[in-house]
Every structure is written in structure tokens, then in C-alpha cells.
Structure 1
Amino acid sequence: MKIEQIYTGCLAQGAYYIESDGEVAIIDPLRETQQYVDRANKENAKIKYIFETHFHADFVSGHIDLAKKTGATIIYGPGAKTNYDIHEAKDNEIFKLGKVSIKVLHTPGHTLESSTFLLLDENGKEHAIFSGDTLFLGDVGRPDLAIKSNLTKEDLAGMLYDSLRNKIMPLPDDTIVYPAHGAGSACGKNLSKETIGVLGEQKKTNYALRANMTREEFIEEVLDGIAPPPQYFAKNAMMNKSGYDEFETVLKKGDNPLSPEDFESMANQEDALVLDVRHEKDFVKAHIPNSIFIGLHGGFAPWVGALITDLKQPILLVTPEGKEKETVTRLSRVGYDNTLGYLEGGIKAWENAGKDIESIESISANEYENRMKREVIATLDVRKDGEYKSEHLEGDHVQHFALDYINDNMNTIAKNKTYYVHCAGGYRSVIASSILKARGFDVIDIAGGYAALKSTDLPKTNYVCPSTL
């Protein structure tokens, strides 16, 4: 028996490859599926099953493409209804895989069809659970993402409580836990940085598995502090339920080199968004007018999903050399399949063609402090709510303007002001600055973010541990 976790940091997502005696099961595959086929071929094995723990909201799964390539059966838990062929498993149904077995445990709560897959070894012993978003390390899945459900989040939280108590917690303490996500995912609140754990340890440390916890206490605690889900979640879940274009078609369309002239013409004709995915230091120095920055090296796909509201938005790319296919791939993982091409030769080719270039003024934290001594300047803190509440610059001139909700809060700022923008380290502030600049606002970026501002003598609120907020 072989188990491999295939972890993708940008999405904080774990897919799984399980092989026994020449037969393979893939659990929660990513959009690009050739990697799983290649793994199976290397082992002289055949992919027999594709298990989906639920209708994922934070990424588009590759189950449909993988089934077409391999003939494998797609398996969902009870209640899953799709626009393509699947096997809708019954609770406790068992699937043979070589010398091992996989048992379906219906664990509704995160969503109605959510299921945990229990791996039984060659001797029939409980070896591991692939818990999807039902159980994370340190947390459990948010119960507010069910598609078109008449149930409230309180109803779903109650279901999750029952699933954990009746299906998960009775399993042996030495059962290995393979969750769908780790820290960085918006599918839970307090996910661990660890991506593989043991159930007994979770029973001791995970607040949601606390002994003698009442149903009412669980519902209150699991719902406390849940931020609204990113706007793309419901759209990705529907794509996973209804179907999508083949990944190879999307990649071929997007991996299209364009001259500066063709790039500019297409941007105008197609009303395309110019998305610049280089490093923020490169973007502030020189970029195409009205382009938006979301750098590949940061939380790229989740920020694209949070900020670009139309999955069908035509997109043109400015990328580092050699990163064109990667960018198209990572966009497709969250359902942005309408990439039209990329600027061949990058920003240098644009400049050499005599096209207009713009920049964003970026200053150090010390320079910001010096300017503050001369005048009070409007400042936008674009960090998340918890970051801002834990510690921030003091003063009425500082406005919390979370990047997550920038599209909803444009009416709270004015175009007759210059805004100094900071985040925690410099990545998100350039995203925010690019959006504001493209919409006609005057912005100056504070390089290094709050990490750099902390070293100044500017007044700050007293630190409060986020866990006590």
C-alpha cells in the first residue's frame, strides 16, 4: 500500500494518491490531472476510483477530466447530484482497491454531501481517514457553504457536530488524519500548518473535538468569527457540480504569446483585464496603465478569486519569463478559464515598443514616519480584520480598508485625497494600490508593510493576542 499527499501551497490543498496491488484511487484531485496519470503509469498501476469528499468551493477539482482520461469511476457521498456520471455512494459502502478497502462515511455538516473516506488496510484495520473539510488539524470545516440549501448554518453546524461525534471520534486514536486543507485556507478558522496528523492528538487539542462539549456549545464556537466566504466559492462549487471545460483546452487558449501591438489591441477589443503577476517590487517600478497586480509568489489563486468577480472575465497576462503556463494553470484552478494570452517578452518588450508605462510611488516606513511629522496623511491598512484588531497604527488618519472587501468599500474613500497604503509585508498593499490606481485614486505604497512600521516610533495600539479577540 502506498499513500502520497500531493500538497499545493497556494491553495493550502491536499490531494491524495493511494495505490495497492496495481490499483489506484485519487482523492480530491487538482484541475491539472496528467500528474496523477503519470504517477500511476510509473507504478504500472491503473486509476480505478476518483473520490470527492464534497463539492469543493475553494478550487475546481480535476475529477471530470481525470475520469475521461482513465475511465475511473467518480465517487461522491450520499446526496450528491451532478450533471455528469458518478457513483453516489451509500453510507458505509465499501470499495475494494487492490488489497485494501475504502469505506464511505457520510459526514454532513460542512456541506450536505460531505463524506470522509476511511482506509482499511490489508487486515481490515482502520488505517487512515481522508477527512476532506469535515475535520482539519486544529479545526473543522465551516458550515455555511451548502449549495442551494434551505438549511441554516446553525442547522449544518449541528449536523457537523453529529458527524464528528458519531462517525469520526469513535475511530481508533492511531488513525492517521489526511485533511483536504492546511493553514491558509478560507475553509476554516484555525487550521494547523501541519498537513498530516493523528486522530488521538486531535481529540486532545482540537477545540471542536473537546470531550463533554454540548451540541449548543459546538454550534456557537464553530460559527464564532467566521468571515463571509470569498465571492468565488459558490461559483467554484457549482462548476464542480455541473462541469467545466477541459483543462487542456483552457491551457492551450491561454498559452498564447502576443506582441505588444496585439496585446494592446486585444485588451481594448475584448475589454480584457490586464493581470500582472510579477513581483510587487517590479510592478511598482513599471507596469502597463490600468493593469492589476496579483503576484504569483503570494496567495495568488485565492486573491484572484476574492477580487476578480467574474469567472468569465477575459484576462491578459504580464508574467515573469517562463511562468506563462503556470499562471494559466493556477487561474484555472479557481475557475478563471478565459485567459486570452500573455505579453511576449514581458514589460521590457512593451517599453521597447514605445508603449506607455506607469509606476507607483513606494516609500520606506522611515520616510512615511518623516512625512507624518510634517503633516497628517491619510493611511489605509489593508490587512485582514484580525490582523488590524491585534495591533495597528493609532490615529484618526488611519482607516482599516481590508483588501478582502475592497470592492464593497470603495465608497468609503475619496478621490481628492492621497492615500498611503500598507499591509503586513508589502504584497497585499501593492494589490490594493494597483486596484485603487486603476480606478482613479492617488496612492503611495509603504514598502515592507506593518512589519517595517513596527520599527518606527509612530504610535501604535497595544498588542492583543488574536486568540483572545
Structure 2
Amino acid sequence: MKIEQIYTGCIAQAAYYIENNGEAAIFDPLREVQPYLDRAQKDNAKIKYIFETHFHADFVSGHIDLAKKSGGEIVYGPTAAPEFEAIIATDNQEFKVGNYTIKAIHTPGHTLESTCYLLTDENGKQHGIITGDTLFIGDVGRPDLAQALVEELTQQKLASYLFDSLRNKIMPLSDDLIVYPSHGAGSACGKNMSKETTDTLGNQKRTNYALRADMTKEEFTKELLDGLGLPPAYFPQNVLMNIKGYESLDTVIQNSNIALSPAAFEAVANQGDVVILDVRHEDEYVQSHIPNSIFIGIQGNFAPWVGSMLRDVNQKLLLVIPEGREEEAITRLSRVGFDHVLGYLKGGIASWKTAGFETDSINSITPETFATALTPDSIVVDARKPGEFEAEHVENAINIPLDTINENFQSVPKDTVFFLHCAGGYRSVIMASILKSRGIHNLINIEKGMSGIKKTTVNCTHFVCPSTKK
């Protein structure tokens, strides 16, 4: 069967392309749709359907733009109520793409409308199943996203639905089916996803904790919800954009890809309610940046961190961008619904300095300097996730995960100099920029984070505390 996974690592998302006999279908497309149009054109195929597994929370789908540009029909599963033209499939309804058959299997749980698509080839052999966020490799979809929009849909109720969907709809299928999920490791749509992006259903039945044959519904619910943190604040906004529709990406790029001189840039920034977002490498930001700007580097998990830190997709943005990456940054922001970029600084930080405007920097030291300076009285803030912290950490460090800084701002030392680090140096600079924008300047960033700390020539056992240490 001709099926291609189109994986976008920075948001850990998988779209799918299938083609047979001159007809094609796309599953869960990203906002930028030209690659799908180009792929179909390469096969001299017409896109017949755009299948959506559910209303996505972690990204804005390209279903509307793709339908307009390709003429394909959008398909959702039962109970979906989009505010645009779409086919709402019934449970077990079949669709033909060339000689392939695609069966919609309603699997509520992650969301009410969640639907998987069973793929059968031209010879009538069941090949695989596109599972969306119902079943991942090593995990299943979190059941707490829909309740942000429908209060009575508790996570316990949705977990119960998901248990039934998995047991009654997915697990009875053939073990040799290939599972094609919508996300891999790094996505906030689950908590235990594998770095692998496909697997056989049989292997998932053997290895995925949520598919244990002897598991009760109560056990399933408890294990699924255990350790499940709050979803990022921008998720419900992305869901609404996917339900209601959105502005064309072409229009967003046209309105946002505007070069501003330093004077014009400052004038727009002073209009109020505008965030200056610096997307350069953290090493460049540390050395010199516009005061009160927020750093989130384009080289990392850029868009999800923007969504998690800035929260409101309607936030107006001004960008400081490496030359030549302007459209890339705007496009990646649009993937999570941030469509209100007002322009970017022409000539970058160098032109800002040349124009005589003020810059700021972050006090940053090497891991070796940190190891020498560390004393029993030192305060160390660790910006990593709880699991990373529990595995190993600087002795007596305070764990304030980056994605919780808005809720835990009061836990940050205000009157004493403290050291700040993460795993490799990216997240700590994001946190440092947020703290400095709020008036907290008494921090010292540790370059290269824990990876650098562990490589110092100082005896690391004096200050690195593995979880096994008693």
C-alpha cells in the first residue's frame, strides 16, 4: 500500500499521504499545505479527501486551505460539528481512494469526535490504521483536553470512553496492522510516547501499558491520569480555530513578513501589548538582546514553547530573526495559531545597535566556573521537567519546570543571586528572558546546562545527585 508519513519533528506531528490510481488523500495536514499539493502533483494525482482524526489542540490543521486549493473534501468522524463544509462520517463508513478503502472507526476518548481510519489495499488486505491521538506508540491520547470547551466532559468520563474504544474498536483488529499515530515523543498530547513513529498493533498490545488485556477500566483511568500535567494554555484556542476556521496562511505571511527599521520597530513596540520575540540562538541572545524581549530559539521546539509561554494566540508579536528565516518563523508560529506578527527587525540586532538603541545581556557562566563557585549555600534553580530532575540534579536545587514558570513565578528567588540551568542551555535562557522581562535580574545562567555540568573536571559527585543516591 502506498502510504507516506510526513513527520514534522519540531512539533512531533505526523501527517499521512496515500495515493492509488490517480487519487490521493491527506490525513491531519499541517497549516502549510503546498508540500501536500506538490506531492500529489508528483504522482499526477488529485487530492480527493482530507481526513481529520479530530479537532487538534496542539496545532492548527491545514484542512481548510488544502480543501480550497485542491478541491478535496474534508472528512471528520461522528459527532464533529465544524463551522465549515465537511463530510461527517458515520461509524464504519467507507471511502474509496482509487482502489483503496478507508473505513472511519469512531473512537471517542481523547475527544468525543476522535476517529481512526482503517486502511485496506487494492487486494482487500487490511494494511494499517491511522490512529490520530487515540493510540500512540507506547501511549494513548490524554483525555483532559475536551473539558476546557465542554465542562461536563470530565477527564474521568473521557478516559472511560477511551478504554471502551480501545478494547472494543482497536484491540480486536489484526496484530499485523501497522499503527500510524499523529504524534511521537515530545508532543504534549501524551505523556509516555516512544521515539518510534510506527509499530504493529500486535507489538503495541504486548508493550503499551494502556492495552494490557487484564486491565480494568478503573486501573486504566488511574494509570492514564497519573502524572498528567496541565495541558498548555493555547490548546483550547487551537481547537476553536480548527472548529471555526482561520485566515489563510498566505494572508498571514503577507501581513507579517514586513521588514521594519529600528526606529519603526521601536515605534510599534511602544504601542503597547506587543511582545518582542527573539528567535536567534541562545548564545547570541545571552550576549546582546533588546531589553524585555523574550527568547525562544527557532532551532528548538519553537512553536510549542511559544504557545506554552505566551499562551494567547492573539498576542501581537515583533520578531528578531536570523536573516533569511523570516518566512520560516512566521509559518512555524502559525502552526500553533500565532497569526499576529506585526513585522521583524530589519538588519537584526546589529542594526538596532547601529541605530543607537539600548541592549541588554544575561550573566552567563561556563559549567566549570559554576562547579568552582558552587557552595552549600548556593541557590540553584533547575528548569527541566520533573522526570529529568528526579533522575539527577544538583544537590539541593529547586525544580521549577519552564512550562510552569507562569504559575510558579513566586517561587523564584527575588532578593538573592541564584544559578539557573536546564539540560542543554535552551530552556534556561527562555526562563531567564521571562524573568528579566518581569524585573528579576539576580540570576546567573549556566551554559550547556546539566550536560555541561556533568562533563566538568570537578568531582561531580560533590554536586550531582542521582535519584539512586541516598
Q: How far off is 1:312 after superposition?
A: 0.9
SS of 2:254's equivalent?
A: helix
Contact 1:276 1:319 in 2 (8 A): yes
TM-score if structure 1 supplies the norm length? 0.96
Aligned to 2:301: 299
The answer for the alignment partner of 2:407 in structure 1 is: 408
1:238-271 deviation digits (Å, cap 9, x = unpaired): 1111111111111111111111111111111253
* Alignment RMSD (CA, Å): 1.4
**In 2, Cα distance between the equivalents of 1:464 and 1:181?**
32
Match of 1:29 in 2: 29
Q: Which residue of 2 aligns with 1:426?
A: 425
Alignment of 1:58-457 (within 5 A): 58-146=58-146, 147-373=149-375, 376-395=377-396, 398-442=397-441, 443-455=443-455, 456=458, 457=460
User: Which residue identity lines up with residue 308 of structure 2 in the other structure?
Assistant: A
Contact 1:108 1:160 in 2 (8 A): yes
Letter in 2 for 1:113: E
Deviation of residue 204 (structure 1)?
1.3
CA contact (8 A) 1:126 1:171 kept: no
Shift of the alpha carbon at 1:32?
Answer: 0.6
2:434 & 2:301 partners in 1: Cα distance?
Answer: 17
Task: Give how far 1:64 is off.
Answer: 0.9
TM-score normalised by length of structure 2: 0.96
Counterpart Cα distance in 2 of 1:430 and 1:273:
17
Q: Which runs of 4+ in 1 moved over 3 A?
A: 455-458
C-alpha distance in 2, partners of 1:379/1:151?
A: 40
Provide structure 1 residue ranges, at least 5 long, that are not aligned to the other structure. Answer: none
Question: 3-state DSSP class of the match of 2:40?
Answer: helix
Looking at structure 1, the residues matched to 176 and 274 of structure 2 have their Cα atoms a distance apart, in angstroms, of 52
**Cα deviation 1:173-223 (Å, max 9, x = unaligned):** 111111000000011111111112111111111111112222222111111
CA distance, structure 1, for counterparts of residue 349 and residue 463 of structure 2: 40
Using the alignment, how far apart are the partners of 2:94 and 2:115 within structure 1?
13
Deviation at 1:9, TM superposition (A): 0.3
Q: Contact 1:259–1:344 (CA<8 Å) still a contact in 2?
A: yes
| CA drift at 1:82 | 1.3
Q: Is the 8 A contact 1:270 1:314 kept in 2?
A: no
**1:296 alignment partner AA:** I
| Cα distance in structure 1, aligned partners of 2:233 and 2:318 | 22
Q: SS in structure 2 opposite 1:407?
A: coil
Task: Answer yes or no: is the 8 Å Cα contact 1:292–1:431 preserved in 2.
Answer: yes
Deviating more after overlay: 118-127 vs 408-417: 408-417
Report the Cα offset of residue 149 of structure 1: 4.7
Contact kept, 8 Å, 2:390 with 2:466, in 1: the verdict is no
2:340, 2:405 → 1: CA distance?
Answer: 23
CA contact (8 A) 2:364 2:447 kept: yes
Counterpart secondary structure, 2:130 = strand
The unaligned stretches of length 5 or more in structure 2 are: none
Worse-matched range after superposition: 375-384 or 117-126: 375-384
Distance between the aligned counterparts of 1:50 and 1:30, measured in 2?
11
Q: How high is the sequence identity, in percent, across the aligned residues? A: 58
Instruction: Name the counterpart of 1:20.
Output: 20
1:6 aligns with 2:32: no
SS of the residue 2:78 aligns to = coil
Q: Deviations over 1:401-450 (max 9, x none)?
A: 11111111112234322221101111000000011111111221101111
SS, match of residue 340 in structure 1: strand
- Counterpart for residue 43 of structure 1: 43
Q: For each residue in 1:266-323, what CA deviation from the matched residue of structure 2 results, as whole angstroms up to 9, or x when unmatched?
A: 1112532111111101110111111110001111111101000221111011111111
State the shift of 1:460 in Å. 3.3
The answer as to whether partners of 1:418 and 1:441 remain within 8 angstroms in 2 is: no
Separation in structure 1 between the aligned mates of residue 409 and residue 127 of structure 2, nearest angstrom? 51
Distance 1:420 1:440 in 2: 16
Residue 236 of structure 2 aligns to a residue in which SS? helix
The CA distance in 2 between the partners of 1:271 and 1:93, in whole Å, is: 48
Shift of 1:464: 4.8
Question: 1:67, CA displacement in angstroms?
Answer: 1.1
> Separation in 2 of the partners of 1:256 and 1:4?
35
The alignment covers a number of residue pairs equal to 462
